[in-house]
Chain A
Amino acid sequence: MLHTFVAYVEDLPGVLTRVASLFRRLNINISSLTVGRSEREGLSRLTLVCEASEVAGHRIRASLFKLENIVDVDDIAKAPNVTRELALIKVAATPRNRAQIFDLVEVFRARIVDLTSESLMIEMTGVESKIEGLIEVLREDDGRILEICRSGKMTMRRGHHTSSVLKAMGKAPDESSLQEDVTEDAAEANADVEPA
């Protein structure tokens, strides 16, 4: 099954190596990894997606938590969440066929962020499948895509839930734990709310 680990890690040298090293040792491929600043000074927030059995997932979570520089870990693939990915796609385009791409971009609710006489750059934010969809359509016209840059997944639980560390620090309302709010309905609630 697919696991989505969300971890708060200290901003220190070597932390990412420690995380990556854990997966290397288990011989598990990381399918997506994004890291960036979090709401807390000195802590980065990491979203890591990988394929592993349910039991392995529990062990990975526990092993991640054992890493000294990890402040909190959660596995939220099953929880209601919002997942986004950012893609920058550079496409060969001349003034003649530009309009056609503009239409496509409109349909996918993406944006043109750069334009030259021979190419243009599309920025798209969305769930993985939507980005795949745009890429597929663009590919229909052979050789049109010049370069693709994708961010990997960023995921956040829906609702008022927040990390247990913040909870422990008394900065957030209490909420029931992960396991309890995974119901069939909740899983379906993943149906995404589009970004404005």
Chain B
Amino acid sequence: MGRNANAKSAESHLTTPTRLTGAEIVWATLVGEGVTTVFGYPGGAILPVYDALRKFPIHHVLVRHEQGAAHMADGYSRASGKVGVAMATSGPGATNLVTGIATAMLDSIPMVCITGNVSSKVLGTDAFQEVDITGITLPVTKHNFLVNKTEDIAHAIRYAFQIAVSGRPGPVLVDITKDAQQGTAIFDFEAAKPRAYRPHPMLHVDESGLKHAAELIKNAKRPVILAGHGISESGAMEQVRTLAERAQIPVALTLLGLGSFPASHALNMGMMGMHGESWVNTAIQEADLLIACGMRFDDRVTGTPSTYALKAKKIHIEVDPAEVNKNVKVDVGLIGDLREVLEELLPRIAGRDGSAWLKTIESSKGAVSVHDIKNLPDSGHLYAAHVMHDLWRITGGDAIVATDVGQHQMWEAQYFHHETPRSLVTSGGLGTMGFALPAAIGAKMACPDKEVWVIAGDGGFQMTAAELSTIVQEKLKINIAIINNGYLGMVRQWQEFFYESNYESTPLVSPDFVKLADAHGIAGRAVTTRAEVAEAVNEARKAPGAFLLNFMVEKEDSVYPMIPAGNALHEMIRRPGKNPLVESADDE
């Protein structure tokens, strides 16, 4: 009964000031902010809010662990561009959110978390299930609020939404005491609107900066665009593309930039950084101009900063002034929303002939693809790269892929070619294992018509595998690919390269993932050969419900190329000319 009737009364709350309880104000405000889905887990200190839920047209997804709620809200936001909302009770509920909040913070994901807290009378007394969650999350939120008056709830939540999406986006937490939830106040949605966002004195695109940038672009012989997450966050895909095409500038992408410039575009060189292809990193090292768009020169993309792109002048277009000149000294910092800055810059950019530089880059690719595992004959062994390649081929790249963290994440980035923004959901800045499954749930809730895949390692999957139940409870069609190598693979690789193959605490015993899925009522199968991959992927896609594929891949395969920590960007460990794993297979 009643969702429609509820919708009507919720609507009227928004137009006519009404006396409501604090708990009702929470939902009414969320409705007003356009929220339709909330991920959460109840408990004593947030019970008044849960009790009031039935009166409002919001779908609540019951998670299995609050970390899952935060990652779901995050995945929801990454896939849709909307603000994700997570909810938890006080104490342990609130602290369980922290990893998910930090994940969103490092990747600048707009998210609002609402937690209950003990009554204001006992705040600070170590009351049952009390923690200072605003104190705990201070360094991992863009901002947070402790609300202990009913009449302040609506404003705090509306303000939280505004902060979450403005400037450089990020997570905001609103902690509400139980007595504030229980009290009543006049709810006036309009009046609770936060004050106009304060102007940032450092946010101005100055004329001389634009002029200088245009001049540098005009005179560059070997320019490279560095494309980051800020492109999709500011919706600057068109502008970046226009810049690249007009001035014939090749584009290198960060992990979170993947998809914001089409993979199939002739000017797309691919991913840069620690596991980027050699020609991309070499081009950056050889460049005479870098145009950084919405990226922050993270150490995973620069290698050792003192050796980074020494021949290049640098233009940095960034919304966050604190990022400019932080890791890399730049010649021109254009501070502002990427799309707006590019729109001002583009009229100053004339057509340019970049063919010589593009040819040089093309020739530096050399024989790399010959060593690429996907191009080698079937040795009878299954490699993760085969799985990624087939997943990409069969889906036509038209799926949202949520990855976990580890080797499989890098293989996904290398072999699944993303054409559109928001199609790769991955934890870049924090590198949070356990992210994929809950984030995929959030993404599927945000985009129910999209095909959604989880790609996770056998290690990370076990961190949040309990959320399989959430998939079933929500009847979601999500396909899961576990890249099972029996190791904490990425750590094993580091041990192999830098710790004399001392595989301390990385071999991993796992449950039979197909049976685990079965126990949840999810179908699945194991895949052990390259020949089976395509068929298995098709079976999963055709299955009516969620489906789990357990890919038993080569155990000691490594991600190439790789820049060891402390090396310059061009000093990479290349793909072995002869893959030892394939060689030994041939011998058998």
Contacts and interface: CB of A to CB of B under 8 A. Distances in A.
Contact of B325 (A17, A58, A66, A168): A58
A14 B163 CA distance: 17
B134 A14 contact: yes
Q: B138, B163, B199: which has the most chain A beta carbons within 10 Å?
A: B138
A40 interface: no
B138 A66 contact: no
Nearest to A21: B138
Given A55-B325, A68-B163, A62 B139 contact: no
A63 to B, nearest CB: 5
Nearest to A164: B201
A71 interface: yes
B139 A21 contact: yes
Contacts of B146: 13-14
B475 interface: no
Interface in B125-143: 134-135, 138-139, 142-143
Contacts of A72: 201
Given A13-B146, A21-B138, A71 B198 contact: yes
A65 B138 contact: no
A62 B322 contact: yes
Contacts of B325: 55, 58-59
B200 A65 contact: yes
B326 A59 contact: yes
Interface string A145-171: 000000000000000000010001000
B202 interface: yes
Interface string B469-500: 00000000000000000000000000000000
B428 interface: no
A168 B199 contact: yes
A14 B321 CA distance: 24
A109 interface: no
Interface string A27-45: 0000000000000000000
A68 B163 CA distance: 8
Contact of B138 (A18, A55, A58, A62): A18
> How large, as a class, is the contact surface on chain A?
10 to 19
A26 to B, nearest CB: 11
A96 interface: no
Interface in B518-560: none
Q: B134, B202, B322: which has the most chain A beta carbons within 10 Å?
A: B322
A65 B320 contact: no
Given A68-B143, A68-B163, A72-B201, A59 B322 contact: yes
Interface in A48-90: 55, 58-59, 62-63, 65-68, 71-72
Contacts of A55: 325, 329
Contacts of A21: 138-139
For the complex, would chain A's binding face be called helix, strand, loop or mixed by DSSP majority? helix
Nearest to B134: A14
Contacts of B142: 66, 68
A68 B325 CA distance: 22
Nearest to A73: B201
Contacts of B199: 168
Contact of B201 (A25, A65, A68): A65
A141 B357 CA distance: 76
A62 B202 contact: yes
A66 B322 contact: yes
Nearest to A70: B198
B208 to A, nearest CB: 13
Nearest to B159: A68
Q: B134, B168, B321: which has the most chain A beta carbons within 10 Å?
A: B321
Contacts of B168: 66
A59 B324 CA distance: 8
Interface in B318-334: 320-322, 324-326, 329
B322 A63 contact: yes
Contacts of A168: 199
A189 B445 CA distance: 63
B56 to A, nearest CB: 28
A91 B396 CA distance: 83
A66 B319 CA distance: 11
Contacts of B143: 67-68
B542 to A, nearest CB: 49
B305 to A, nearest CB: 12
Given A25-B139, A59-B326, A65 B202 contact: yes
A65 B197 CA distance: 13
A67 B163 CA distance: 11
Contacts of A68: 142-143, 163
Contact of A62 (B134, B198, B321): B321
A17 B138 contact: yes
A168 to B, nearest CB: 6
Contacts of A67: 143
A196 to B, nearest CB: 34
A14 B324 CA distance: 28
Interface in A101-155: none
Interface in B150-176: 163, 168
Nearest to A68: B143
A59 B322 CA distance: 5
Contacts of A14: 134-135, 138, 146
Nearest to A177: B201
Interface string B308-347: 0000000000001110111001000000000000000000
Q: B134, B168, B199, B326: which has the most chain A beta carbons within 10 Å?
A: B326
Q: A68, A72, A164: which has the most chain B beta carbons within 10 Å?
A: A68
A21 B140 CA distance: 11
Contacts of B163: 68
A21 B322 CA distance: 16
A72 B198 CA distance: 10
A111 to B, nearest CB: 40
A113 to B, nearest CB: 37
Contacts of B324: 62
Contacts of A62: 202, 320-322, 324
Contacts of B138: 14, 17-18, 21
A21 B144 CA distance: 14
B207 to A, nearest CB: 15
A81 to B, nearest CB: 19
A14 B134 CA distance: 9
A17 B135 contact: yes
B374 to A, nearest CB: 43
A65 B135 contact: no
Contacts of A59: 322, 325-326
A-B CB proximity, top 5 nearest: A62-B322, A62-B321, A68-B143, A63-B322, A59-B322
14 contacts: A14-B134, A14-B135, A17-B138, A21-B138, A25-B139, A55-B325, A58-B325, A59-B322, A62-B320, A62-B324, A65-B201, A65-B202, A66-B168, A66-B322
Interface of B: 134-135, 138-139, 142-143, 146, 163, 168, 198-202, 320-322, 324-326, 329
Given A62-B202, A68-B143, 5 more contacts: A14-B134, A21-B139, A62-B320, A62-B322, A63-B322
